[in-house]
Structure 1
Amino acid sequence: MFTARRLSMVAAITAFALMAGCASQNPYDPNTQAPAEGGVSKTAKYGALGALAGAVAGAAIDHNNRGKGALIGAAAVGAAAAGYGYYADKQEAELRRQMEGTGVQVERQGDDIKLIMPGNITFATDSANIAPSFYTPLNNLANSFKQFNQNSIEIIGYTDSTGSRQHNMDLSQRRAQSVATYLTSQGVDGGRVSTRGMGPDQPVASNGTADGRAQNRRVEVNLRALPGAQGATSTVQ
């Protein structure tokens, strides 16, 4: 059984892990993305919870030196639990840096990252040919996706509501495929890439104005952890 002294030690280790996680959570840009979950990043949150579980398990296993066992358990399990969250933090920060000034929006949703590319930089009206202004963001994305290779890349094309639904569904699929083809031509692993055409579905603005239609003619890229990457620590420095 744990004594009060040993339980205090476990609590202290967990508090230390949480503070360390908060101190190292950085990669959020404080001007654009506030850490979620009441000011504590997912890296810190899961790392601390993992540290608590690891501390309890480590103390239980090492009967001769429960303090040492708790420290070892906290370090091992806490690192594993925080691994992908830390990886996503670093990837998000790098994408924000690379996409600055390009018109591409970077959004964080838990451990997932979404990139929103509006129609004014991606494709001309009724075209699936990549616009000249789109090559620089795509080249930057290709370089990032090759460096950060622990997530899947889902590319979704959208259109405005002008024209028939079937035409727009086909056009949005061709736009998504154009992006995928270009990224793979730049060395991104095609096994990570999938495409979908959503046509005029899920508009983000009114189709009653030219500006709204341009916002709806967009491409979104969703980045999610590959199977086995969740909880795995990253080698990206």
Structure 2
Amino acid sequence: MKKLLAISAVSASMIITGCATTGTGTTLGNASATTKAGLGALAGAALGAGISKATGGEKTGRDAAIGAALGAGIGAYMSRQEAQLKQQTAGTGIEVTRDPVTNNINLAIPEAITFNVGRYDIKPASYNALNQVANTLNQYNQTSVVVNGYASIEGNANANQILSQNRAVAVANYLTNQGVNPSRISAYGRGATTQFGNTYEPNRRVELTILAPQNVN
């Protein structure tokens, strides 16, 4: 039974991955909000139908319809949030992207506006952008947030690990001070992992992943 459920879930993921590019070669990142919401509905329908069959359900069509409604609702919810974040952080250097399969939104905050060498106190240049992010998170309060802190490859690895954790916590605390419920936020130090391009480039940045909810009210 568990194996059947796993297969159904993977099948739904494969359907969405296959639709990530339109017939004209336009990637999903450039697609319209309507297209993304439609893909969310497709994922929900496929998963709902797959689970119904795997569990011996007799109302596969009903379950697929329910899954489609949930998927479309979540996709639309995250699409609106993505659009608002892009508008509010325009010109700051923050990159906002959304995963077409999970609907999670990723924000990459570059080192230039985040931290100085060996420090984890947030630069004032980041305040306005983080205020806007917090404002959006407060409006879309059904999501949770993972804050990943990073450090440079230079210096002691253990010290950099601690530094990256402190950077993640600093951003998490800043968002909390702006009214974001701390129960929604997790903070992790990633050390010098996942470097930008050349591994010798500085890596003093923070990345936020806004996790899509299971359903929206």
1:100 aligns with 2:90: yes
Q: Which amino acid aligns with 2:29?
A: Q
> Does the Cα contact within 8 Å between 1:116 and 1:220 map onto a contact in 2?
yes
2:77 corresponds in structure 1 to: 87
TM-score under structure 1 length normalisation: 0.67
Distance 1:88-1:133 versus aligned 2 partners, 3 A rule: same
2:128 corresponds in structure 1 to: 136
> Does the Cα contact within 8 Å between 1:79 and 1:233 map onto a contact in 2?
no
Q: Pick one of 29, 37, 41 that aligns with 2:35.
A: 41
1:198-213 equivalence runs, <5 A: 198-208=190-200, 212-213=201-202
Give the C-alpha shift of residue 44 in structure 1: 0.6
> Does the Cα contact within 8 Å between 2:149 and 2:191 map onto a contact in 1?
yes
Once residues 102 and 125 of structure 1 are traced to their aligned partners in structure 2, the CA distance between those partners, rounded to angstroms, is 20
> Does the Cα contact within 8 Å between 2:109 and 2:206 map onto a contact in 1?
yes
Segment drifting more, 77-86 vs 137-146 = 77-86
Distance 1:49-1:113 versus aligned 2 partners, 3 A rule: closer
Distance 1:50-1:161 versus aligned 2 partners, 3 A rule: closer
Distance 1:129-1:40 versus aligned 2 partners, 3 A rule: same
Once residues 33 and 197 of structure 1 are traced to their aligned partners in structure 2, the CA distance between those partners, rounded to angstroms, is 28
Structure 2 gap ranges (5+): 1-25, 50-57
Q: Which amino acid aligns with 1:99?
A: T
Q: Pick one of 219, 223, 237 that aligns with 2:206.
A: 219
1:66 corresponds in structure 2 to: none
Q: Pick one of 108, 129, 152 that aligns with 1:160.
A: 152
Equivalent position SS for 2:197: coil
1:151 aligns with 2:147: no
Give the C-alpha shift of residue 77 in structure 1: 5.5
Give per-residue Cα distances to partners, 1:127-184, cap 9 Å, x unaligned.
Answer: 0111010101111111011001111110010111111000100000001001011110
TM-score under structure 2 length normalisation: 0.73
Structure 1 gap ranges (5+): 1-29, 55-59, 62-69
Give the C-alpha shift of residue 74 in structure 1: 8.8
1:112 aligns with 2:109: no
Distance 1:199-1:74 versus aligned 2 partners, 3 A rule: closer
> Does the Cα contact within 8 Å between 1:118 and 1:219 map onto a contact in 2?
yes
Give per-residue Cα distances to partners, 1:48-103, cap 9 Å, x unaligned.
Answer: 5767989xxxxx99xxxxxxxx9x99976643231111111111000100110011
Once residues 122 and 141 of structure 1 are traced to their aligned partners in structure 2, the CA distance between those partners, rounded to angstroms, is 14
1:23 corresponds in structure 2 to: none
Segment drifting more, 192-201 vs 75-84 = 75-84
Give the C-alpha shift of residue 202 in structure 1: 1.3
Count of residues in Structure 1 that have an aligned counterpart in Structure 2 = 181
Distance 1:101-1:233 versus aligned 2 partners, 3 A rule: same
